[in-house]
Structure 1
Amino acid sequence: MKEIEIYCHNTRSKHTYPMGASLMDISRDLNIQLKNVVCGAIVNNQVRELSFCLVKPKHIEFFDVSHPDGIRMYIRSLIFVLYAAVKESFPHVLLRIRKGISNGYFCELSGFGREITEPDIHAIKNEMHELIAQNIPFIKKGLLTEDVVDHLVKEGLEEKAQLFEQKGHLYSSLYFLNDLGNYFYGHLLPSTGYISNFDLVKYFDGLLLRVPNPDNFNELQEAPEQKKLFEIYQEHKDWAQILDVATVSNLNEFTLKKKGGYIIKISEALHEKKIAEIANQIHERDGDIRMVLVAGPSASGKTTFSKRLGVQLAVNGLRPFQVSLDDYFVDREHTPRDEHGNFDFESLDAIDIDFFNEQLLDLLKGKEVQLPKFDFHRGRRFMNGDHLRLRTGDILIVEGIHGMNPRLLPRIEEKSTFKIFISALTQISMDEHTHISTSDNRLIRRIIRDSKYRGYGAAETIKRWPSVRKGEERNIFPYQENADVMFNSATPYELGVLKKYADPLLKLVLENQTEYMEAMRLLKFLSFFKPIDDEEIPPTSLIREFLGGSSFLY
């Protein structure tokens, strides 16, 4: 029997196995011990399931459920079990996974016909526990696409079926849990028995599927109620209904019919209407508001939003002036460091809070101040000669990631500020069971912007992203509910537009780079979108901040 050589990163050693050996066989033979049970592997910088069989020499690194791709496997598999449990408990009800919120996943039971009760939830959870106890394998099958589509239609998953039809492949894959088929755009765990911890609770008018803490799978992630975030999601659910674009397949239908321009026009009009409403709220506070704070995570479109808000404030007779928190960074040598000894630019302590508050107090008293500018190349703050004095009718727009943090303005009266949190809360879903991560939306935006304006390749942006996300979880998202208003900068059409720009950048990531597997995941995700031409996107659009062609100066 022919043998192949593998290198195992976990053991730092080479081994020889018969051709056709599975990753499961190898992990058991090598007795791979991780913090949690082994659930998958990175093979030549691509994620593979443990059922994957080797026919060529490979570089292998096994991972468990605490790994980013491990937790993705866990969540997909958990949703499949939830789908199966709902199907068994309430056969005529369709499970819909709407969004990620409160460190979990908001679910609706379409066609339920009444309010969900605790006994209903208990019945679903019991069925889930039974499926997990049976340790049923998730079986992946390659089938003719027409057979996959027929199966999904019979299951009532018409949106998923339509997406497979639009792909146009002769063969497609489907996962089976007993006789129930489904697909989740990524890998699954070997079997239901790998699911060790979850909860299902009532959440507003639906359910919240709670998931474990990746750092400690014995604990569930905290589930704070995020009322304002939920409301903004619901608002954009209404927008999706206005546009008739709730899923990727809906969007693709408009694109195939050459009606992408219609979606762009309506989406941009809804954005403008919302920004105008926010400006009206500020104006109606009868001069009490002297300062608007705009905060949000990376690639959320804060800068363009601030400029568009300034236009609408001017329409209301106010004179807006913009200030960036980035210009109040402390000099580089005073920047705090993270646990790895690297500069932590996303810490609030990287901002000279005392100096910032002194300048704000002077401005609010009608004094003239000389505004600072931060030189990122030299790591120094300097005065560039710009002066500012606020008069009656003037209003300051302060943009920066810490705008919702109460520690930012210890010397400023709350009643003189208006707080706006902005993020790209993706409005459309892949299908009935797969929401689109807002983090993925922002990462794709940032890959394009970093390439166009900062000279970074996709691999470098992907490499930095986990650190960016960690900073956001620590410094931004805990304070988002402090906002007076939330604004969703995402549009239903944008991923169809971003695809054209992101695809060639992601394809430049090489197989021997550790970022290759993330690039391949994003490419696969974008492959389900039909490209949308960007000619009709107006120069004031938030998406122009990333694509170029904006009429605003940055």
Structure 2
Amino acid sequence: MSDYTIRRYRQSLILGLIGVAKKLFPDEQLKISHSILDGVYCELEDSLLSSREVIQVEEALRSWVLSDQTISCNPSQDHLYQCRLGDLEIKTLYPPLERTGSLQFFQLIHFPPGFILLFPNANHPETLAPFVPPEKLSSTFSESQRWLENLHLDKVKDVNAIISEHGSNDLICLAEALHEKKISSIADRIYEQRRNVRMILISGPSSSGKTTFAQRLSTQLRVSGLRPVALSLDNYFLSREETPLDENGQYDFESLKALDLPLLAAQINALIRGENVETPIFDFVHGRRSPAGKPMHLSSDEILVIEGIHGLNPSLIPSLDRNQMFKIYVSALFQLNIDNYTRVPTTEVRLIRRIVRDNQFRGINPERTLAQWESVRRGENHNIFPYQEEADVMFNSSLLYELNALRPYAERLLLTVTPDSDYYQTATHLLTLLSFFNSLDVSTIPFISILREFLGGSIYNV
């Protein structure tokens, strides 16, 4: 199932959910709030839902699916799709599937005060991923939501209004101040545990801004009196001929087994004991380790900072005491919705970030980025998302003004994808999404901003 078909499948289920919720709770307003795990978190705006009520909603949704009725939908003038469910008219970002009967795989899970609509596993669309209660992820979303409520911001139109009234500088300052405050609090928490913690592990999906976050955190740690020392997991790759293969017979560089785990564990344990080691330097051109390594020693006031997709995986360094690690999950959890029913998918925010960055710094055209995205997503689903609740703390790297800032850059690139391309449909959809955001002057965005990792102009080596 292609990524676009998956989106249509999910959109169809959301449509059905809106319809049955309106029948069951006619005086209430359902909100499709945000992505969470392989699903979306939903709630009623003014009421708590009991577990029995969630069961009723799921039963009604299954009845709607089994009715195998046609879903009426047509493009509208504002680039959305106008869909009809009985007397209810709903606008959607994606066109739904033609009939309801194919929507067999889903589950509703009570998650007070609302519930999670769990979609099929993206890698295995005829199964549901095992459900691990996303307590920390949900708490991070709630924290961001409270901040938006304090600023009286809820929808994309609210941010557009501020920009239109020439208030973008205040908007940028507020968003960046929130990031700085959160990074500072994480550094303080690490400092409080400095007697035990010798290693910080940072992980998160593609284009989350992990590199800038790691450097800004390192700055805050130095302010606290700690000396961070970066260690790259990339230098622990096995030689090309030892790299495992994926199901298509291609080198699987995102597999945990692509790393020399015994050497990594041995050297980290030695560093923590105060010993000298020679860490490897990987030669990516020739696909093997360089003959000479890099001498390293860890003093008592130094702390290792390791960034990589496997940072939260307990199997990365199983021999190390968990109390000696501090794990951080970084992701762009965008929370502004277009309306109550139309959320902005966090995955697509990251994709837009990546399209701009790939072109700015790697000379990669948007079509190639789009072609790689499905593989990137597979790797995230396998190597990152299952371990996100292992984190000690989560950092939301999203900035409420970012799609306004990215719009002119991304639009220019996406318009180069021609109608004969396999990715024209996706490019067109992303252009539609961006059309809801008023462009913003990026000249006042600070040079330490995570967004500079994608736009350019960062003071960090990213």
Q: For the structure 1 residues 276 and 84, does the alpha-carbon distance in structure 2 shift closer, same or farther, using more than 3 Å as the test?
A: same
Alpha-carbon offset, residue 497 of structure 1: 0.9
Q: Deviations over 1:219-262 (max 9, x none)?
A: 44432211111111111111222333322122211122121221
2:310 to 387, 402, 409: 402
Shift of 1:384: 6.6
- Which of the pair has more CA radius of gyration? 1
The residue number in structure 2 matching 1:124 is 57
Could you tell me how far apart the structure 2 residues matched to 1:310 and 1:298 are? 21
Q: Could you say which residue in structure 2 is the equivalent of 1:424?
A: 332
Q: Residue deviations 1:103-135, cap 9 Å, x none?
A: 2221011122xx322342344344434544554
Q: Within the alignment, does 1:70 sit opposite 2:5 as a pair?
A: yes
Q: CA RMSD in A?
A: 2.2
The aligned residue for residue 210 of structure 2 is 302
Partner of 2:159: 251
Q: 2:385 aligned with 1:477, yes or no?
A: yes
Question: Which residue matches 2:39?
Answer: 104
More strand by share: 1
2:268 is matched with 360
Give the 3-state SS of the residue equivalent to 1:212 in structure 2. Answer: coil
The aligned runs of 1:433-444 (5 Å cut-off) are 433-444=341-352
Q: Distance in 2 between matches of 1:135 and 1:412?
A: 53
Q: What TM-score, normalized to structure 2?
A: 0.94
Written as runs of structure 1 = structure 2, the 5 A alignment for 1:191-202 is 191-202=99-110
**Aligned partners of 1:97 and 1:435 also within 8 Å:** yes
User: What displacement does 1:399 show?
Assistant: 1.1
* Whole-Å separation in 2 of the counterparts to 1:303 and 1:486: 15
Q: Which residue of 2 aligns with 1:292?
A: 200
3-state SS, counterpart of residue 72 of structure 2: strand
Q: 1: CA distance between counterparts of 2:172 and 2:62?
A: 45
**For the structure 1 residues 477 and 125, does the alpha-carbon distance in structure 2 shift closer, same or farther, using more than 3 Å as the test?**
closer
Aligned counterparts of 1:218 and 1:415: Cα–Cα separation in 2: 39
Give 1:324 deviation, angstroms.
1.4
1:372 Cα offset (Å) = 3.1
Is 1:372 the counterpart of 2:305? The answer is no
Aligned equivalents of 1:384 and 1:281: distance in 2? Answer: 37
Contact 2:231 2:305 in 1 (8 A): yes
The Cα shift of 1:274 comes to: 0.6
How high is the sequence identity, in percent, across the aligned residues? 40
Is the 1:335–1:350 contact (alpha carbons within 8 Å) kept by the matching residues of 2? yes
Question: The residue matched to 2:290 in structure 1 has which SS?
Answer: strand
Which one is further off, 399-408 or 375-384? 375-384
> What is residue 339 of structure 1 aligned with on the other side?
247
Q: How far apart in 2 are the matches of 1:359 and 1:194?
A: 52
- Whether 1:88 and 2:23 are equivalent positions in the alignment is yes
- Post-superposition Cα deviations, 1:176-224, rounded to whole Å, max 9, x if no partner, equal 1122111111212224444334333311311121333467666444322
User: Distance between the aligned counterparts of 1:485 and 1:329, measured in 2?
Assistant: 27
Task: Check conservation: 1:103, 1:223, Cα contact below 8 A.
Answer: no
Deviates more, 1:325-334 or 1:373-382: 373-382
TM-score normalized by the length of structure 1: 0.79
2:428 aligned to which of 508, 511, 520 = 520
**Cα drift, residue 78 of structure 1:** 1.7
- The gaps in structure 2 that reach 5 residues or longer are none
Q: Is the 8 A contact 2:81 2:94 kept in 1?
A: no
Structure 2: which amino acid aligns with 1:423? S
In the alignment, the residues of structure 1 paired with residue 159 and residue 240 of structure 2 have an alpha-carbon distance, to the nearest angstrom, of 46
Count of residue correspondences = 462
Give the conservation status (yes or no) of the 8 Å contact 2:81–2:93: no
Higher relative contact order (CA 8 A, sep 6+): 2
In 1, the alpha carbon distance for the partners of 2:379 and 2:296 equals: 32
Letter in 2 for 1:333: E
Q: 1:504 to 1:122 in 2, by over 3 A?
A: same
Pairwise CA distance, 1:436 = 2.1
Match of 1:39 in 2: none
Cα shift at 1:398: 1.0
Counterpart contact for 1:427–1:491, Cα < 8 Å: no
The letter for the 1-side match of 2:251 is F
Aligned to 1:465: 373
SS state at 1:202 partner? strand
Please state whether the residue corresponding to 1:100 is helix, strand or coil.
strand
Give the residue type in structure 2 aligned to 1:435: R
- Name the SS for the 1:428 alignment partner: coil
2:117 counterpart of 1:176: no
* Partner SS, residue 239 of structure 1: helix
Change (3 A) 1:220 1:270: same
